[in-house]
Amino acid sequence: MNPSLLFTTVLHYIDTSPRRLLAALCAICLALLAFGLYLQYQQGLEPCPMCIVQRYALILVAACAGLASLGAKKCWQTAWATLALLLAGFG
């Protein structure tokens, strides 16, 4: 498949259904948090300080993505998605 065609297809999908994409991002963040908690409490692995910072960042990204997926207006989605992107840099 042509890389530019793939890129165009992905951009079209993001533009046509951003709420679904943001909800999926929220679900992925929550799944990663759940897996980290499973490893900590069921498998006995102690998290390092960086892992704990990443958990805080994932919680914030999940919250922002979830709030962005709830809004119907494009400006609401863009604002919360931008905040989620900025918070992802801390994790």
Which is nearest to 25 in space by CA: 71, 74, 60, 72? 60
Q: How far is CA 56 from CA 6, 18, 31, in A?
A: 33, 24, 14
Report, as an integer, the average pLDDT of 10-16: 71
45 DSSP 8-state letter: P
Q: How far apart are CA 48 and CA 54, in angstroms?
A: 10
Query: Residue 91: which pLDDT band, with cuts at 50, 70 and 90?
Result: low
pLDDT > 70? residue 1:
no
Q: How confident is the model over 28-85, as pLDDT tens digits?
A: 999 999 999 999 999 999 999 999 999 999 999 999 889 888 887 888 888 888 888 8
